[in-house]
Amino acid sequence: MNSDEIDIYKELKKYFGFSQFKGLQEKVISSIIAGSNTFVIMPTGGGKSLCYQLPALIKEGTAIVVSPLIALMKNQVDAIRSLSSENGIAHVLNSSLTKTEINQVKKDISSGLTKLLYVAPESLTKEEYVAFLKSVPISFVAIDEAHCISEWGHDFRPEYRNLRHIIRQLGDVPIIGLTATATPKVQEDILKNLDMTNANTFKASFNRPNLFYEVRPKTKNVEADIIRFIKQNKGKSGIIYCLSRKKVEAIADVLKVNGISAVPYHAGLDAKTRARHQDMFLMEDVDVVVATIAFGMGIDKPDVRFVIHHDIPKSLESYYQETGRAGRDGGEGHCIAYYSYKDVEKLEKFMSGKPVAEQEIGFALLQEVVAYAETSMSRRKFLLHYFGEDFDGETGEGADMDDNVRNPKTKVEAKEQVIQ
Ligand code: ADP
Ligand code: MG
């Protein structure tokens, strides 16, 4: 098929029912259809999946989609199947399949029915699968969550590092890398590792103009301060992140005692309780969820009005992801981080048991968080700069939406804070 002849708007409507592309989608899709290596950096919720799904449905052959989470792959396969009358249009290939199921997948791919094949990176290392995939037409390989390649990313997975080697065996197929991780260091790692420094790169802005960023000193009154804030924002939904499960439980209890409807969420609770607490939050049976970072992946509640970090996050990446859960609907989203240097030392101690290389990266990432907490410049500018984005502090969207810009610290105030 000649790429000039394809009306991608028509295809978008036909498969997904949308009339418009979001942000950079159209450009990305044209690049993929043209068969170029393509690199996509878009914040979570930006619509990265469609960037490879639509070209996969349009192009000849099967697109391989590498994704780190089995649950996410299953969701996507179900979603694609619902767009078509053919179940075989999308498949997952993994170790949990029976021999019969694997044969069905192979048959559907060979007959040209399957447009999207989702695989976990560890499955793609299996000789048997690689041998088969070599024998069928592959339209391209999409690597979702491509930051897993980088040790500087928040979710490093060693298996991702072998992908380039395996893809090479499939012949000259284009590669599409996608990530929501915006730091220049991680991006460089991804491009180098996939050997595609020549890729067409599309980077969306990471600015979230409706989020208000604030850092408060963490004193012994932190709990009272949080309670006061929540009471001033009665009836609004919010998330409070803590470092430890113990802290999560303690804060949830304190909130409840003070008449605030709150539930705890952490990996120490059994799956049923976790699901129940998450549903209670989504259904607005409770206002507040107090959680470790185990909470939030894939949570799509549009009207979260505040995200409070009782303890500082491990990196600015995580901070951006976690605060990003506020104000998805474009409405108000207040992000408060409580900061004390003692917490930094605690985190450093935490990391000291880890291998040296990991420690070094961990410390460096943490130092950026410290710099963010201690800066007197625009926090938005600081965050976006960290993501390699130049933000105009005068005229940029949301320029006045942080504590430093609203109330520049005078020397006297700074002194008072130390004495307290
Ligand atoms: P990401 O992977 O970047 O976090 P997703 O691919 O999960 O984002 O998409 C986020 C949401 O945006 C999904 O609900 C998806 O259906 C929606 N979406 C994607 N593209 C469009 C579009 N062109 N028009 C409307 N909604 C879209
Ligand atoms: Mg995604």
Residues enclosing ligand 1, CB less than 6 A? 18, 20-22, 25, 42, 44-50
What SS3 string covers 259-287? Answer: CCCEEEECCCCCHHHHHHHHHHHHCCCCC
Q: How far is the CA of 163 from the centre of ligand 2 (A)?
A: 19
Q: How far is the CA of 319 from the centre of ligand 1 (A)?
A: 22
User: What's the pLDDT at 415?
Assistant: 47
Specify the ligand 1 atom closest to the Cα of 21: 23
The helix or strand, by DSSP H or E, that contains position 64, with its residue range, turns out to be strand 62-66
Residue 256 CA to residue 276 CA, distance in Å, equals 17
The per-residue pLDDT for range 326-354, each reduced to its tens digit, is 999 999 999 999 999 999 999 999 899 89
Rounded to two decimals, what is the model's pTM? 0.85
User: What's the pLDDT at 4?
Assistant: 56
**pLDDT band at residue 72, thresholds of 50, 70 and 90?**
confident
Which residue do the tokens 């474009």 mark? 330
**pLDDT band at residue 209, thresholds of 50, 70 and 90?**
very high
For a mutational test of ligand 1's pocket, the pick from 19, 27, 39, 50, i.e. the residue with the most ligand atoms closer than 8 A to its C-beta, is 50
Region 261-266 average pLDDT: 97
For a mutational test of ligand 1's pocket, the pick from 15, 20, 22, 301, i.e. the residue with the most ligand atoms closer than 8 A to its C-beta, is 22
Residue 382, pLDDT > 70, answer: yes
Q: Which residues surround ligand 2, an ion (CB under 5 A)?
A: 48
The residue whose C-alpha atom lies closest to atom 13 belonging to ligand 1 is 47
Q: How far is the CA of 21 from the centre of ligand 1 (A)?
A: 9
Residue 266, pLDDT > 80, answer: yes
Region 206-211 average pLDDT: 96
Q: How far is the CA of 44 from the centre of ligand 1 (A)?
A: 9
The per-residue pLDDT for range 277-306, each reduced to its tens digit, is 999 999 999 999 999 998 987 677 999 999
Q: Where is pLDDT greater, at 122 or 37?
A: 37
Mean pLDDT computed over every residue of the chain? 93
Q: Which residues contact 3 (CB under 8 A, 6 or more apart)?
A: 30, 33, 34, 35
